[in-house]
Amino acid sequence: MKITFCGAASGVTGSCHLIETDKYKVLLDCGQFQGGNDPDKMNRAPFPFNPAEIDCVILSHAHVDHCGRLPLLVKRGFKGLIYCTDATADLVDVMLKDCAHIHEQDAERDNRKNARAGRPVTEPLYDTNDALDTIKHLEPVIYDTLVILNEQMKVVFNDAGHILGSAIIELWVTEGESTSKLVFSGDIGTKDRPIINDPTIIKKADYVIMEATYGNRLHEPASESVDRLLNIIAETAERGGNTVIPSFAVGRTQELLYQLNKVYDGHTPFTERLRNVPVYVDSPMSVTATEVFRANAQAYNEEMKDYILSGDHPLDFKGLVFSKTSDESKQINVDTTPKVIISASGMCDAGRIRHHLKHNLWNAKNSIVFVGYQAEGTLGRLLLDGATEVKIMGEPIVVNAQIHNLEGFSGHADRDGLFEWLSGFQQKPQKIFLVHGEEESKVEFAEFVKSRLGWDCTVIHNVCEVELGENTTITSLSTAEEEFADKDSVQEIRSRLKNALEDVSDVIENAETATDTKLTSEEIVQLKNRIAALEKEIINLGATVSK
Ligand SMILES: [Zn+2]
C-alpha cells in the first residue's frame, strides 16, 4: 500500500491523501487551499495524480479545506463515487454551490480588471455547473456501518465530533493474503460540545493519519469562552458598539446560535443585558446550513434531542434575524442599533464578513471576536496578529475595534484532546503520520507523544509518497503545495502591486461616481496619495528588475 500526502501536508488546508494498492486508487478528502502566499495558484495547480484514475473518494466532512476541490476533481475527469455521511452530503451540497458562486464572483471581478488592462480572461476555479455535477457523485452512508468499496477495501465512518456529519475513517486494505487497517482522523472535535457527539475512540490501527492543528496549544474550557463572549457582547452594546463574529457558516455558526439561544430564550444573568441586542446571521450559506442542521436530528447528541423534545428549538430565538439578500445585508450597517453580526467566511478571506469588517473595524466602540482557527496568510490571522491597518477589497482600513480570540469555541481538539484520542489505541500503531498542522504544532505534538507514550510519530513536512511495508520509505515530491510556498518571483510581486493599484483605483472611481458614498474629499486625497506611493514602488521595482 502506498500513501501520497497531496495536501494539508505542509500546512493546515487542502486536505488530500491518496491511498494506492496494485489495483485501486482511493482519495481521502479533496480540500481547497486557503491563506498562504498564493492559494489560488495552489488550487489551480495540477493534482499529483490523474483524477480519471481515482476509483472513489472518502470524504471526512463538509469543511471547504476538506471538500472544496472536489468539483475540480470531477471537472478534470473523476468518475467515481464520493462516500460521506448523510449529514455531510447535505452540507456539501450547500457548501460547494456557495464556493462555486464565490469563484464565479472572483473571476468576474478579475475579468473587469483584465479587460481594462488588456489581459486575457481568467476562468473561475470552477462554476455552479461543476458543483452540481459533483453533488451527483455523493454517496451518503451512515455512521458505524461497514461499506465495501471494492474487493480490496472496506470502510467505516465514525463520528468525529467536529461538525455535524464529520467522520473518523477506518479503512481496511487487503493485498494478497494480508489485511492492514488505516485510520484517518479527519478533523478531531472536542468533548462535550453543543449539538454533536464526542469524537469516537478507535482501538486498533496499523497506520494512522492524524491531524495536529492544535498540537501545541491548550484551549480554555468552552464554558469560559461562552461567558467571555456574552460579556463582550453586553459591554460592547452598552458602549453603543457592534460585536462582529467571523464564523464558519457550517458548524460554528449553529453552535453560536445554540449558546445564544440558551441566554435569549432562558433566564440567565445575561438575559436582561442582551434583551435589546439583536443577533444577525448574515451569510446566505449559514442560513441554508442552519436549515440542514435542523433537518439532520439523527446526528445530534442527547442534550440537543432533549432540548427539542422540551419544545424550544435550539437554533431559533427572539431577536435572531437571518439576512439572505444583499439588500438585507447592507441594511445591517445602515441601522445604528448595537447588535451582534455573525457572518462568513470564518477566516475573513471571502464573503460578506469583509463588508462588516470594513464598516466596523475602524470604530473603537466595536468588538471583533474570533471563534475559529485562522490560517496563516488570511485576513483573520492578520487581525489576530495585531495588524493596525488592513486592506479590505482594495481599501485600507485602520483597526481600532477590540480584537478577541476565543479558542474555547474551537471545533478542533487541543493538544490534550488529540493526545487522549491517540492514547485510545490499545497497541502502538506501526506508523502514525501527522498532517494538517503548522510545522511547530506537528513537531511539538510528536515530541509530546514520544515523551508520554514512547511512540514515534512521523511528521509530514511536504507533499510526499510513502511506501508502507516492512521498510517504510518516504519520498518527497515537488508539487503545488511546496513549490508555491517558495518566495514569489519579481514578476509575481509586480503583478500583485499592479492589482493593488487597480483595487485602489476602483475605490476612488466608485467613490467619485457614486452618490451614496460616505468618503469625504479628505479621504479621497489620502487614497490618491496611496496610489502615488504604490506607483513609485512599482517603478522602483521595475528599475531593480531591469538592472
Ligand atoms: Zn474541519
Taking the C-alpha atoms of residue 537 and residue 539, their distance in angstroms, rounded to an integer, is 5
pLDDT (tens digit per residue) in 445-467: 999 999 999 999 999 998 999 99
* Mean of pLDDT values over 502-521: 65
Q: How far is the CA of 324 from the centre of ligand 1 (A)?
A: 24
Cα-to-centroid distance, 341 and ligand 1 (Å): 22
On the question of pLDDT at 40 being above 90, the answer is no
b/e burial code for range 471-499 (CB count within 10 A of at least 16 → b): eeeeeebebbbbebeeeeeeeeebeebee
Closest CA to 375 of 69, 164, 65: 65
Cα of 66 to ligand 1 centre, how many Å? 7
Cα of 63 vs centre of ligand 1, distance in Å, is 5
DSSP bridge partners of 182? 171, 207
Asked if residue 479 has pLDDT above 60, the reply is no
In contact, 186 and 213? CB cutoff 8 Å? no
Q: How far is the CA of 483 from the centre of ligand 1 (A)?
A: 25
What's the 249 CA to ligand 1 centre distance in angstroms? 12
SS3 323: strand
pLDDT attached to residue 542: 56
- Indicate the CATH number for domain 222-409: 3.40.50.10890
The domain spans of the chain are 2-217+411-483, 222-409, 490-546
- Bridge partners (DSSP) listed for residue 279: 320, 340
Query: Which three cell numbers mark 308?
Result: 427539542
pTM listed for this prediction: 0.81
Q: Measure the CA–CA gap between 96 and 132, rounded to whole angstroms.
A: 8
Report pLDDT for 473.
80
3-state helix, strand and coil shares in percent for the chain, rounded to the nearest 5: 40, 20, 40
433 pLDDT exceeds 70? Answer: yes
What distance in angstroms lies between residue 413's CA and the mean position of ligand 1's atoms? 11
Closest CA to 339 of 450, 237, 227: 237
Per-residue pLDDT at 168: 98
pLDDT at 349: 84
Most confident of 1-15, 20-34, 246-260: 20-34
Q: How far is the CA of 187 from the centre of ligand 1 (A)?
A: 5
For the record, the C-alpha cell of 463 comes out as 507533499
Contact 512, 521 (CB under 8 A): no
List all residues 6 or more positions away from 64 whose beta carbon is below 8 Å from its beta carbon: 31, 32, 34, 95, 99
Cα-to-centroid distance, 113 and ligand 1 (Å): 34
Top-ranked range on mean pLDDT: pick from 75-79, 271-275, 405-409: 75-79
Query: What pLDDT is recorded for position 531?
Result: 72
**Distance between Cα 264 and ligand 1 center (Å):** 28
Cα 420 to middle of ligand 1, angstroms: 19
For residue 44, give the nearest of 494, 498, 484 by alpha carbon.
484
Say how far apart CA 294 and CA 298 lie, in whole Å. 10
The CATH number given to 2-217+411-483 is 3.60.15.10
| More confidently predicted of 224 and 194 | 224
Mean pLDDT of the chain: 89
Residue with cell 493596525: 388
d(CA 334, CA 355) in angstroms, rounded, equals 12
Question: What's the pLDDT band for 243 if we cut at 50, 70, 90?
Answer: very high
Q: What contacts 24+ positions apart, CB below 8 Å, involve 536-542?
A: 537/497, 538/494, 538/497, 538/498, 538/501, 541/490, 541/493, 541/494, 541/497, 542/494
**Separation of CA 510 from chain center:** 31
**Is there a shared CATH topology between the 2-217+411-483 domain and the 222-409 domain?**
no
pLDDT reading at 535 higher than 80: no
Q: Pairing state of beta strands 147-150 and 389-392?
A: unpaired
Per-residue DSSP letter, 32? P
**pLDDT band for position 538 (cuts 50, 70, 90):** low
**Considering the chain, what percentage of its residues have pLDDT values greater than 90?**
64
The mean pLDDT value for 417-438 works out to 96
> What distance in angstroms lies between residue 121's CA and the mean position of ligand 1's atoms?
33
- Confidence (pLDDT) at 487: 40
Q: Please classify residue 405 by burial: count the beta carbons closer than 10 Å to its beta carbon, then call 0-12 exposed, 13-18 middle and 19+ buried.
A: middle
